[in-house]
Amino acid sequence: MDITRRDFLITLARHYYEEDLSQQEIADRYSISRSNVSKMLKACKEEKIVEIRIQAPSSQALQFKARLEETFNIDHAIIAPSAGDTEATKTEAARAGAAYLCSLLEDSMKIGISWGTTLYRLVQEVTPPDVKNIEVIQLHGGFGAKNPEIDGHELAGMLARKLKGSYRVMQAPAIVQNHELRDLLLKEPNIAETIALAGSVHIALMGIGSNLPEISSMVRAGYLTEAESAELLEKGAVGVMCGLHFDKKGKLLSSPINDRHIGLPPEALLAIPKRFGVAVGSKKIQPILAALTGGLINILVTDEQTAMGILYHHETDN
């Protein structure tokens, strides 16, 4: 009976919220009273069958958006509300970023994807638009994340399934032991073809990481020790994106770890028309600011408090 009742509630909710039938029209269709329809629609909200979200950004978010776009000459800034904790804020930013991504999609587009926890949530929040022949391509090799769902190959597959498209992954680790091995792997036909395909994407979805040892995704994935991450930080590597480390001006470091990277080369990455950078939180302020300063991204997805910090540090540093 519970299943039957829930199915009926879902049917009523679709009539009211998707088909725009009035409560009286629904009542007439099922020979029940209008007051019963009202009670059942209320139950739909209480039982989370229907969730109503107000998408309008705050006036503060609109101010931050305008200032970020003007200051860094980027195409678009998506500024989500800052929630009570980092995890909830990630969800808010992911939801806003997914909505903007879906507004850009057209038939036969190619989407490149990196890795990360906020990016994983963005993919989860995608509501598929009516588009065809979407292809999703991993932008770099895998990081062997402890949670495989946030790694690039899993995200590529998840997004492709949501969009009823196809996907291509890079059959290699993101970082190898030395540059000689990297050069050999780059000659492998499958890897070379995937990198060439990644260079033709219309949109790149990328997480922005920090080299602070306590939050470094590279440390969590086992590619760096905490001491190595701290050493990179001391040498000026404030952030990492697609496995490539960069300084506070957004310039890639001349570093052995960058020489062992398997993925889309920097010049090809910068040629992608729409480059999303997705990150939230106070510890991501410096990496995001660097990515904006260096033109590594031209679309930013973050939250209000992080946006405020980015603008504050930019103004105090200049």
DSSP assignment of 158-204 equals HHHHHTT-EEE---SBSB-S-HHHHHHHTTSHHHHHHHHHHTT-SEE
Same domain for 82 and 214: yes
Same domain for 300 and 252: yes
**Structural domains of the chain, count:** 2
- Quick check: is 196 in a domain? yes
Q: So what's the pLDDT on residue 149?
A: 52
Same domain for 156 and 89: yes
Res 108 pLDDT > 90? yes
- Quick check: is 193 in a domain? yes
Same domain for 262 and 145: yes
Same domain for 180 and 296: yes
Residue 52 pLDDT grade (very low, low, confident, very high; cuts 50, 70, 90): confident
- Quick check: is 7 in a domain? yes
- Quick check: is 52 in a domain? no
| Of 59 and 19, the one with more pLDDT | 19
**Domain holding 231: CATH number?**
3.40.50.1360
Same domain for 63 and 40: no
- Residue whose tokens read 């503060």: 60
* pLDDT (mean) for 81-104: 91
pLDDT tens sequence across 291-317? 999 999 999 999 999 999 999 999 887
State the Cα torsion 19-24-28-33 to the nearest 10°: 130
Q: So what's the pLDDT on residue 256?
A: 76
- Give the amino acid at 104: L
Q: What is the mean pLDDT of the chain?
A: 89
- Quick check: is 53 in a domain? no
Same domain for 224 and 103: yes
Lowest mean pLDDT among 24-28, 55-59, 197-201, 254-258: 55-59
Q: So what's the pLDDT on residue 1?
A: 40
* pLDDT (mean) for 48-64: 77
- Quick check: is 51 in a domain? no
Residues 6+ apart with CB under 8 A from 281: 86, 89, 306
Res 91 pLDDT > 60? yes
* pLDDT (mean) for 143-161: 74
- Quick check: is 54 in a domain? no
Same domain for 290 and 163: yes
Could you tell me what percent of the chain has a pLDDT over 70? 94
Res 147 pLDDT > 70? no
* pLDDT (mean) for 122-135: 91
Residue 231 pLDDT grade (very low, low, confident, very high; cuts 50, 70, 90): confident
Q: Which of 303, 308, 305, 304 is nearest to 121 (CA)?
A: 303
Residue 89 pLDDT grade (very low, low, confident, very high; cuts 50, 70, 90): very high
Q: So what's the pLDDT on residue 175?
A: 83
Same domain for 312 and 231: yes
Q: So what's the pLDDT on residue 286?
A: 95
Of all helices (H) and strands (E), which one includes residue 138?
A: strand 135-138
* pLDDT (mean) for 137-154: 72
Determine the angle formed by the axes of helices 2-13 and 34-46, rounding to 10 degrees. Answer: 100
Same domain for 85 and 29: no
Same domain for 155 and 37: no
**Domain holding 14: CATH number?**
1.10.10.10
Q: So what's the pLDDT on residue 106?
A: 93
Q: Which domain holds residue 80?
A: 59-317
Res 12 pLDDT > 60? yes
Lowest mean pLDDT among 106-110, 237-241, 304-308: 237-241
Same domain for 178 and 272: yes
Residue 290 pLDDT grade (very low, low, confident, very high; cuts 50, 70, 90): very high
Q: So what's the pLDDT on residue 258?
A: 81
